[in-house]
Structure 1
């Protein structure tokens, strides 16, 4: 069953990535209704008042240019409150490297909407796994109408709202950090 859920998720990612490359996105901004806007992931994150720490990490490290590009990604971005609760250091080179490593564990390749993830969870019988751009495996389940994410290190977070979809992917604010500083990988 586990092999089936991973293959389903990979197939969904591949199909969505192909669709994102060839389709014309509507000119309006992404909204909670699930519409796809014309802004890039970097712009969506930068414009979100609850994701200023994530925006700062992207800007400080040069990763913003990656999310301004054409490659599709889905970002499960910890809110500012989630970062504050982890007491993640904000100063110095070592802190910057740790913040980038943590953020990498929240990024999944491909363009996924909430409906895509929920559909995969429901069709798999309760959970689906996806590999991040780092060494993390995220397991998605539902708790009522809430999408819950568990990290391979045991960290958990809940998706806050419907998320935002832009020209090159989706951003989902989450209420927790999905990789601890002391976790291996």
Structure 2
């Protein structure tokens, strides 16, 4: 497995199902705030103090669990007591650099297999192809998500994912 280094701040101009093929003028925090299916992540970004980070010039790629993915968590793991774990888990959904889906696919093709990248948290994410679908899997291997859309911003990329990329259940 190849480790993927963060790409530079120069954005790639393409990606699957990208609403705009060129980077927009919004920062990461604004992209998340403007997405219909990322309301919970928006709240977590605010609670974690990451909005200021995402307002800055440094580039990040955020694999943002959709509201549906977060709602699918065990019902016993919700409410105020779950908030700190969710905020910590969010850091394992963020990698440094401006990485589009196209960049990730190119790295997988160049390495001939999965590529791995360290997150802002304590883990790593592994990227691979499942047929024509780009997938991302957590370090513990417990969850995987298909990446089908992306939002390109001035200082990063937001890729909504259909799963929480870390086991944060009470037993996990």
Question: Under TM normalisation by the shorter chain, which class is it?
Answer: 0.7 to 0.9
Match of 2:85 in 1: 98
SS state of the match for residue 108, structure 2? helix
Query: CA offset at residue 53 of structure 1?
Result: 0.6
- Answer 1 or 2: higher relative contact order, Cα 8 Å, separation at least 6: 2
Q: In structure 2, how many angstroms separate the alpha carbons of the residues matched to 1:138 and 1:56?
A: 23
Query: If each structure's helix is expressed as a fraction of its own residues, which one has the higher value?
Result: 1
1:77–1:171 Cα contact (<8 Å) kept: yes
Q: How many residues were matched structurally?
A: 165
Deviations 1:125-146 (A, max 9, x none): 1211111111111111111221
Q: Which runs of 5+ in 2 are unaligned?
A: none
Structure 2 counterpart of 1:57: 44
User: For 1:50, what is the secondary structure of its paired residue?
Assistant: coil
- Root-mean-square deviation (CA), in Å? 2.2
> Comparing 169-178 with 134-143, which one deviates more in the overlay?
134-143
| CA deviation after TM superposition for structure 1 residue 58, in Å | 1.1
CA displacement at 1:149 relative to structure 2: 1.1
Which TM-score applies when normalising by structure 1? Answer: 0.81
Q: Are 1:177 and 2:161 counterparts? A: no
Which one of 118, 137, 162 corresponds to residue 124 of structure 2? 137
For structure 1, the 5+ residue unaligned runs are 26-30
The equivalent position to 2:97 in structure 1, one of 105, 110, 118, is 110
TM-score, scaled to structure 2 = 0.87
Is contact 1:155–1:177 with CA below 8 Å preserved after alignment? no
